[in-house]
Chain A
Amino acid sequence: MERIPILRMGSVLLVTIQVDMQDQTAMALQEDLAEKIAKTGASGVLIDISALEIVDSFVGRMLASISGIARILSATTVVVGMQPAVAITLVELGLSLEGVRTALNVERGVQLLERARRGASLEH
């Protein structure tokens, strides 16, 4: 079974999903990310879904789960690059992806994570 690679860019973990994932691949990604966030103490997770033509409820819930897990581990998650047709379909499906932050592209996503990191450190 293929595993989606997780790259590290400073204090941010970067994931690019480019394949039509099997359910187990999505679950493995969730586990791998949780482990890596804890291990590296990353403050941000950026998930690039610009290549995904289909996001169904399974993938949607995975994204929400990752977001929640990351938050518990003190990291912010941002999902970037959602295609218009995917957004329209998710709304129709009724999946609100509550708690998942999104940005138009990787650049904006990184800016968002940077603001969140600075905001968090100001609280100390």
Chain B
Amino acid sequence: MSTETSGTLPLASEQNIVASRQLVRTLCLQLKFSLVDQTKMITAASELSRNTLVHGGGGHMRWEFVERNGKRGLQLHFEDQGPGIKDMGLALTDGWTSGGGMGLGLPGSKRLVNDFEVHSEPGLGTRVSITRWK
């Protein structure tokens, strides 16, 4: 049984997206998340991994076990050095049903986790960080 509390996974190919789902599943099992919480976290990771690959030109997913006020959680960072998000407001607009938004699925992923942060600079890259607490 691994005693690692952090790690990195490259996101350079489609297989990596599958690998990220499997890794996040393992990590959620270690923290003994409920099935629904686990499903939400893995799904969010899948969305964001894909974004990193498809829109960010590839990058990696950094993971770490975190703790706050005696509660344990899983934090994931999706980082790339791609073109960055030009219109953050639009990116965070829910658009699936209306056809608007940017199709990055950021608002949806945000609803699946407890903490959500996105930093992006056009030309410098993007980092999306999500956390799910037990």
Contacts and interface: CB of A to CB of B under 8 A. Distances in A.
Q: Which residue, of B22, B39, B96, B111, has the highest number of chain A Cβ atoms within 10 A? A: B39
A93 interface: yes
A72 interface: no
A85 B39 CA distance: 6
A85 B36 CA distance: 5
B17 A22 contact: yes
Interface string B59-80: 0000000000000000000000
B105 A93 contact: yes
Contact of A89 (B17, B18, B94, B112): B112
Contacts, number: 66
A56 to B, nearest CB: 4
A58 B50 contact: yes
B74 to A, nearest CB: 16
A40 interface: no
Given A57-B108, A85-B35, A93 B17 contact: no
A45 B107 CA distance: 32
A96 B35 CA distance: 21
A64 B47 CA distance: 17
A20 interface: yes
Given A56-B47, A95-B96, A20 B21 contact: yes
Nearest to A53: B39
A23 B50 contact: yes
Nearest to A20: B18
A24 B108 contact: no
B43 interface: yes
Interface of B: 14-15, 17-18, 21-22, 35-36, 38-40, 42-43, 46-47, 50, 94, 96-97, 105, 107-109, 111-112
16 contacts: A54-B42, A56-B46, A56-B47, A57-B96, A57-B105, A85-B38, A86-B39, A89-B36, A89-B40, A89-B112, A93-B108, A93-B109, A94-B94, A94-B97, A95-B108, A98-B97
Interface of A: 20-24, 53-58, 84-86, 88-89, 92-96, 98
Kindly list the 5 A-B residue pairs having the minimum CB-CB distance in the complex, ordered from nearest: A85-B39, A93-B108, A56-B46, A22-B14, A94-B108
